[in-house]
Structure 1
Amino acid sequence: MTAPTPAEGAAHTDEVPGRIMAREIAEQPAALRRLLNEGAGAIRSVADRIAARKPRFVLLTARGTSDNVALYAKYLLEIKLGLPCGLTSMSTTTAYGAQQDLRDVLVITISQSGGSPDLVASTRAAREAGAITLAVTNNPGSPLAEVSEYHLDVMAGPEYALPATKTYTASLLALYLLVEGLRGGDGEAAAELPRRAEELLAREDEVRALAARYRFAERMVFTSRGYGYPTVKEAALKLMETTYVPALSYSGADLLHGPLAMVGNVSPVIAVVPDGRGGAALQPVLERLRERGADLVVFGPEADVARASAGFVLPIEGIAEELQTILEIIPLQLLAHEVTIARGQDPDTPRGLAKVTETH
């Protein structure tokens, strides 16, 4: 999407703190439904054209929230297609001027606005180096979309709050549909997502009760594994950019390799437990956290929530593990919103942040 002009921003400013972010969180079921009903065909067409070119490797380019979308796409592409993937270090080309051979490499650049100069420059350089370039944005008229060979519109609609919410989940779904298209799937497993998202939004009071635990928190730790890892990275980012509370996110495997030492009985830890292999891999980590007496809050299946200090049962029964990611983040977006309000701050306009980040 394009960042709102000052006049547009004034027109969309509400007096009650957090109303813009709350409204955009609530728009997610409609945004997911719109992408499934109106955008899936175009995504499948792009997938067919890319598949015909048989890319041998994938590079993912993004910043901020979109970087967490890219991490999700990395899991999808490596697990579902067996394609090796890497996350681009843009400064190798934009700052150091490195020359790369990117023939037969698919470069996917993800940016809600499509306006960040470093993303545009990096994508242009990749295309000149022989890459197949694909932009994933919420703005089909953006500079990034124009410089890329292919484009996916996530169709989330205008997003005015500085913390990205609906563009995040829409981007996840767009990448899922792309990978399904690349592997010859129909994406029908995603049809249930809008309804499950509505179920989550109807439980706002549960999230508000959990938020009270973190009103005076000085630091938080998030952990998960597998497809849940992008979720905790995004949840930590949302909390930091709205509340300014330092929030650290770790793969459960990495948490055990040292950082676990900082977790004690007064350390708030939020674990996202997928229903699948990622959740199974996280079990030893949850056990170690319980042994250390951590204040452990779980977002996941009922059995895991029951063994934690508190939690939120996710409605993910029967949902493929790779699609649970799209649902997991919604209550955590609500949590960031509610904690920020409880701390007397406005999540719509975090200080010192801009919708389009300009780096070079």
Structure 2
Amino acid sequence: MKADIAEQPEVFARLLDERAAQIAEVAARIVEWKPRSVVFTARGTSDHAALYAAYLTEIRLGLPVGLASPSAVTVYGARPDLRDTLVVGVSQSGGSPDLHEVLRVAREQGAHTLAVTNNAESPLARAAELHIDVAAGHEVAVAATKTYTAELLALLMLVESVRGGGTLPAGELAALRELPGHAASVLADDTVVDLAARYRFADRLVTTGRGYAYPTARETALKLMETCYLAGLAFSGADLLHGPLAMADPDVPVLAVVGSGPAGQSMRDVVARLGERRADTVVFGPAAVEGASGWVRTPDVDERYAPLLDILPLQRLALSLALLRGEDPDAPRGLKKVTSTL
């Protein structure tokens, strides 16, 4: 897991250098199709990448987005009318039967289909009309790290290429080329290694964020659950105030992802409310926030780019905490690298 995490700057650079043209070609096809809506289907970590893409698609392209429930198709036999819809399957391995069954049925029901995977020979890639290879390379640890951020970057490049009419704008590409350097600087900061001791004996932990940061909160909770075996509870900042705030107290640590965009500004009120509850809140973002008891600095970048960087110290936190608790983060108990569900 440590080695996989460390490779992410290189993965970003490779994806930008070697996949930009292919992603633009896929985007051009999507522009030709003129979908009226988009449906994403994914599981686990990839579901959080799909959630990020859902925010991007609605905000940047103005298209309504849904997140599919694969069991509607595979368990209940639903056959929804998907004409004028783009269905996108997102999966590191591309191996789960339910996802490629959703894409197969979607094509039968009139949808156009796209797979985003780290395996061009996978069943999901073969089931789709189009495929994007995120080019992350072999991932050794069970817990996904570099494949997750590669999915984020590939989906970001895709959406911005569609918005550009089938071409990633030169200014956008130039800004994205700064990401490998930002990622390297984030990974060189050992603040989270020391922070891990703070949570060594925690039984549960809350993660929260809004907008583009919400998928980061959900992915962080998953990483803590699968590597450290603690209960990670993820909420959007808005949902946290609608009930779960009542459980906040000094014994329930909170990790808040607070960026510099509109959603980050709204999160400041959430952190303040947590401070009133005397919750032990550590903020991950470009600026300190009043009401928090700790801060891990991340680069001040465009809000769309922040999820690719904010997750990096949180991955390292999960790794460090697992080791402190005497666990093996490379081989979480009961888990396999490829999970097959129907």
TM-score of the two chains, using structure 1 as the length reference: 0.92
Pairing partner for 1:283 from 261, 268, 273: 268
Partner of 1:197: 183
Offset of 1:307 from its aligned partner? 4.8
Offset of 1:283 from its aligned partner? 1.4
Is it true that 1:309 corresponds to 2:293 in the alignment?
yes
| Cα deviation code 1:56-97 (max 9, x no counterpart) | 000000000000000000000000011000000111111111
| Cα deviation code 1:24-54 (max 9, x no counterpart) | 0000000000000010110011001111110
TM-score of the two chains, using structure 2 as the length reference: 0.97
2-structure distance, mates of 1:224, 1:100: 32
Q: Where in structure 2 are the equivalents of 1:182-331 lying within 5 Å?
A: 182-184=162-164, 185-186=168-169, 187-188=172-173, 189-203=175-189, 205-304=190-289, 307-316=291-300, 319-331=301-313
| Cα deviation code 1:131-155 (max 9, x no counterpart) | 1100000000111101100000000
Partner of 1:162: 142
Offset of 1:357 from its aligned partner? 1.1
Amino acid at match of 2:295: G
- 1:353 match: secondary structure: coil
- 1:302 match: secondary structure: coil
Pairing partner for 1:37 from 10, 17, 37: 17
2-structure distance, mates of 1:282, 1:43: 33
Structure 1: which 5+ runs fail to align? 1-20
Partner of 1:25: 5
Kept in 1, the 8 Å contact 2:276–2:291? The answer is no
Amino acid at match of 1:69: A
Partner of 1:16: none
Amino acid at match of 1:311: W
2-structure distance, mates of 1:126, 1:42: 23
Partner of 1:17: none
Pairing partner for 2:322 from 340, 355, 358: 340
Is it true that 1:106 corresponds to 2:90 in the alignment?
no
1-structure distance, mates of 2:160, 2:109: 27
| Cα deviation code 1:276-300 (max 9, x no counterpart) | 1111111111110011100011101
2-structure distance, mates of 1:330, 1:166: 9
Is it true that 1:118 corresponds to 2:104 in the alignment?
no
2-structure distance, mates of 1:36, 1:301: 24
2-structure distance, mates of 1:301, 1:172: 20
- 2:211 match: secondary structure: coil
Partner of 1:173: 153
Q: In percent, how many aligned pairs have the same letter?
A: 58
1-structure distance, mates of 2:285, 2:54: 22
Kept in 1, the 8 Å contact 2:285–2:297? The answer is yes
Amino acid at match of 1:219: R
| Cα deviation code 1:298-355 (max 9, x no counterpart) | 1012332x75211201122xx2101111001000000000000000011000000011
- 1:303 match: secondary structure: coil
Pairing partner for 1:61 from 41, 45, 49: 41
Partner of 1:89: 69
Kept in 1, the 8 Å contact 2:205–2:232? The answer is yes
Amino acid at match of 2:292: A
Q: How many pairs align? A: 336
Q: Where in structure 2 are the equivalents of 1:128-139 lying within 5 Å?
A: 128-139=108-119
1-structure distance, mates of 2:52, 2:287: 24
2-structure distance, mates of 1:307, 1:295: 9
2-structure distance, mates of 1:100, 1:350: 37
Structure 2: which 5+ runs fail to align? none
Kept in 1, the 8 Å contact 2:208–2:234? The answer is yes
1-structure distance, mates of 2:66, 2:33: 19
| Cα deviation code 1:187-244 (max 9, x no counterpart) | 32211110000001111x2111110100000110011111100000000000000011
Q: Superposition RMSD on alpha carbons, in Å?
A: 0.9
2-structure distance, mates of 1:46, 1:91: 28
